[in-house]
Amino acid sequence: MEEKINKYIEEFKKATQHLDHADMRLKKLDIDFVRKLSHIIETHPGIKNGQSKFIAENALLIAGGLDMNAEEKVDILYAGLLLQLGKINLPHRLLIKPFYSMSTVEKYHYLGHAIDGEVLLHGLTQFKGAITLIRHQYEHYDGQGFPDGLVEHDIPLGSRILSVVSDYIAFLDGSMTGAELFADAALSQLMIRKNSCYDPDVVDVFINVLKGATVDELKDALVKSKLLAVATERWRKGVLLNSRNKDLHSSTIVEISLPQLRLGMKVDSIYFGSEPYIRNCIVDQTIIDNVTRLTKTNGKYPIIKIFLSVK
């Protein structure tokens, strides 16, 4: 299999070396090459058929929700279809062994297929972006990943996207844990690893992709998730503020409307329906802006309670 793929790649290099990157013939050849190579990869024993297509298609939908440009989407498409290329160098026993049951040495051997995929495609300059995404498919958002320990936004966005989608598949089919999981359970595994393994924005958008959201709905959902993240952080800060200002509880609490909310007011709580937004904090412009924006996007008026006076 390895010899067959290497031969195919070398033949493609020779056939395209004299074509300019702007030549439409090359673009057509690139697409045909990637599709055929992806098909060859999935005929290798231990590599499951159809996964690359699922990864590429869903990664593209996430990219749309994150407003990535056309060139970045092409890189994601190619990388998704060729993500498993380096696995042709792995022994069959590793391809069928659940990742969590591997020894430390076996895990590093397995993860090394990301680098092997990069090496196999070396010299195909038109795939430079995709090759980079393949190399970094196992980086973790907290910097504890492979091979370079990149952190957060130092990891290419395409790699962060591909990591989420490919791991979702691995949780579903049991290749991660050894036991097949239902969709909800697989998503839960992604959720609990937000901010450690995965970019939280990518996970949030992917969840909405699986719900069939449109591109505009994906963008709206991302805005809301960012506001929720801000709210959660401010809630935590509010708890800390409360511990330093215990006398606030002895003050009179009154309910006000959004237009009455002013800088410097001391908030007991702000809710949207039954959902808490923030509590025990001092109002700044960011809070006012976020509450106003949430009111518009949710179509719900906030319930705002403030301390009338502080002794």
Q: What distance in Å separates the CA atoms of residue 221 and residue 235, rounded to the nearest whole number?
A: 20
Residues contacting residue 237 through CB under 8 Å, at least 6 positions apart = 281
In this structure, the strands spanning 275-282 and 266-272 are: antiparallel
Q: What distance in Å separates the CA atoms of residue 169 and residue 284, rounded to the nearest whole number?
A: 43
Contact 186, 204 (CB under 8 A): no
What interhelical angle do 70-82 and 128-135 show, nearest 10?
A: 60
pLDDT score at 266: 87
80 pLDDT higher than 80: yes
Residues contacting residue 118 through CB under 8 Å, at least 6 positions apart = 86, 131, 132, 134, 135
276 pLDDT higher than 80: no
pLDDT score at 213: 87
Give the tens place of pLDDT for each residue, 20-50.
766 777 788 899 999 999 999 999 999 999 9
Residue 246 CA neighbour count, 13 Å, CB half? 1
Considering only residues 294 and 251, tell me which one the structure prediction assigns the higher pLDDT.
Answer: 294
User: What Cα–Cα distance (Å) separates residue 255 from each residue in 43, 211, 236?
Assistant: 65, 37, 22
Q: How many CB atoms lie within 10 A of CB 296?
A: 8
Give the tens place of pLDDT for each residue, 150-194.
999 999 999 999 999 999 999 999 999 999 999 988 988 998 898
DSSP code, position 156: -
Q: Scanning the structure block, which residue is given the tokens 């949030």?
A: 204
Check the CA dihedral 92-93-97-103 and report its sign: negative
Q: What distance in Å separates the CA atoms of residue 101 and residue 185, rounded to the nearest whole number?
A: 19
Q: What distance in Å separates the CA atoms of residue 206 and residue 194, rounded to the nearest whole number?
A: 12
Give the tens place of pLDDT for each residue, 215-267.
888 888 788 777 766 665 665 555 445 544 544 444 688 888 888 888 888 88
- The SS3 assignment for 122 reads coil
pLDDT score at 248: 46
CATH topology of domain 2-213: Hypothetical protein af1432 (1.10.3210)
pLDDT score at 235: 56
pLDDT score at 119: 95
At residue 295, what is the residue type?
T
- The SS3 assignment for 99 reads helix
Considering only residues 287 and 23, tell me which one the structure prediction assigns the higher pLDDT.
Answer: 287
109 pLDDT higher than 80: yes
Q: Whole-number mean pLDDT of the chain?
A: 87
pLDDT score at 278: 83
pLDDT score at 311: 42
Q: Averaged over 140-159, what is the pLDDT? A: 96
What are the residue ranges spanned by the domains of the chain? 2-213, 218-307
Check the CA dihedral 246-250-255-260 and report its sign: negative
Residues contacting residue 160 through CB under 8 Å, at least 6 positions apart = 139, 141, 198, 199, 202
